[in-house]
Amino acid sequence: ATSSLLAFVSPAAAKTLTVGFAQTGAESAWRTANTDSMKNEAEKRGIILKFSDGQGKQENQIRAVRSFITQRVDAIVIAPLVETGWEPVLREAKRAKIPVIITDRTVQVSDESLFVCFIGSDFYTEGKMAADWLAKAVNGTGNIVELQGTPGSAPANERRKAFADGLAAYPGLKIIDSQSGDFRRSGGKEVMEALLKKHGKAIQIVYAHNDDMALGAIQAIEEAGLKPGQDILIVSIDAIKEAVAAVAAGKLAVTVECNPLFGPKVYDTVAKVLAGETVPKVSYNKDELFDSTNAAAALPSRQY
């Protein structure tokens, strides 16, 4: 009986993979969708996922990565809260010979060999798409307030820069104020309330770095007795289902897509890396845009 049981423990049997994932937190609907994609796909593939919620603190993420190294996981995935400050822990992972895949947000490091590759969206292109769409929609004039994402994060940095670059050709489009709502709905609402008090009717356009802040701003605008979509035009990024619905309802003017459902791509990449195959250093997801022309039709099939 013993020998027949042992026959199942064949040396050729595939080893169960263990992956550590240091997530930023749970600040937005985008983030929840990203976490679900990573967790669900791991379960589907029989991968053991060690998941850490950084709760919006880089030091929590760094601590998680250190514990993944101690546990000797097969691969580490990081969605870095901010761009800087990662070198020391990435060196520790490299010394331990554990491959690190950076997802969602980019990092700034002096040595690109500290991580295997990046998988996520092109935030600069997203910000540029938002600016181009807006300039056309309002004929190149209007006063804008900007709701920034988490300070120091790649999407806040890139979406801000791209939008400003896109507006450079339109002197009539002016950013009259810009503040961070930390990618949170409550943040967007609070900042918008303050901006409405400060600037009143001068605000014609809101550019939010994500949908959650845009939806918070819409609440603030409505509570101030104004009509989002009529009195103030709102432009945003992510294309979460609720935002696409707000576009279809005429409250949000446009949302540029940022696809969070890349769990499958991440694990495909982990498998390739562990098999010794080379993978592209940077792999961008394809993103589109939803405005009044296509939002209603797209709504039923939105996956997040």
Contact 244, 302 (CB under 8 A): yes
Q: Does residue 27 belong to the site contacting ligand GYE (CB under 6 A)?
A: yes
Cα atoms found within 13 Å of the Cα of residue 33, Cβ hemisphere only: 18
Shortest Å distance, C-beta 150 to ligand GYE:
7
Q: Does residue 103 belong to the site contacting ligand GYE (CB under 6 A)?
A: no
Strands 289-290 and 254-257: antiparallel
Q: Does residue 287 belong to the site contacting ligand GYE (CB under 6 A)?
A: no
Contact 121, 284 (CB under 8 A): yes
Which string of x and - marks every residue 143-172 that binds ligand GYE (by CB under 6 A)?
A: ------------x-----------------
Per DSSP, what are the bridge partners of residue 174?
143
Shortest Å distance, C-beta 298 to ligand GYE:
18
Cα–Cα distance list, 15 to 12, 40, 48, 74, 295 (Å):
9, 20, 11, 10, 45
In the complex with ligand GYE, which residue's Cβ is closer, 21 or 30? 30
| Candidate list 74, 122, 146, 238; residue touching ligand GYE; CB under 6 A | 238
Of 28-36, 65-73, 195-203, 242-250, which segment contacts ligand GYE by CB under 6 A? 28-36
Of 24-32, 49-57, 173-181, 270-278, which segment contacts ligand GYE by CB under 6 A? 24-32
Of 5-13, 23-31, 41-49, 246-254, which segment contacts ligand GYE by CB under 6 A? 23-31
CB atoms within 10 A of CB 51: 15
Of 1-9, 22-30, 92-100, 249-257, which segment contacts ligand GYE by CB under 6 A? 22-30
CA-closest candidate to residue 266, choices 91, 75, 123: 75
- The answer for 11, left when phi > 0, alpha when psi is -120 to 50, beta otherwise, is alpha
How far is Cα 123 from Cα 210, in angstroms, rounded to an integer? Answer: 11
Contact 125, 289 (CB under 8 A): no
Q: Does residue 74 belong to the site contacting ligand GYE (CB under 6 A)?
A: no
CB-based burial of residue 5 (10 Å sphere; 0-12 exposed, 13-18 middle, 19+ buried)?
A: exposed
| Candidate list 73, 195, 258, 295; residue touching ligand GYE; CB under 6 A | 258
Single-letter amino acid, residue 65? V
In the complex with ligand GYE, which residue's Cβ is closer, 89 or 147? 147
Contacts of ligand GYE in 192-211 (CB under 6 A): 210
Q: Does residue 30 belong to the site contacting ligand GYE (CB under 6 A)?
A: yes
| Candidate list 21, 86, 115, 183; residue touching ligand GYE; CB under 6 A | 183
Buried b (16+ CB within 10 A) or exposed e, 145-162: bbbbbbebbbbbbbbbeb
In the complex with ligand GYE, which residue's Cβ is closer, 30 or 124? 30
Q: Does residue 105 belong to the site contacting ligand GYE (CB under 6 A)?
A: yes
Q: Does residue 188 belong to the site contacting ligand GYE (CB under 6 A)?
A: no
Residues making contact with ligand GYE (CB under 6 A): 27-28, 30-31, 104-105, 155, 183, 210, 212, 237-238, 258
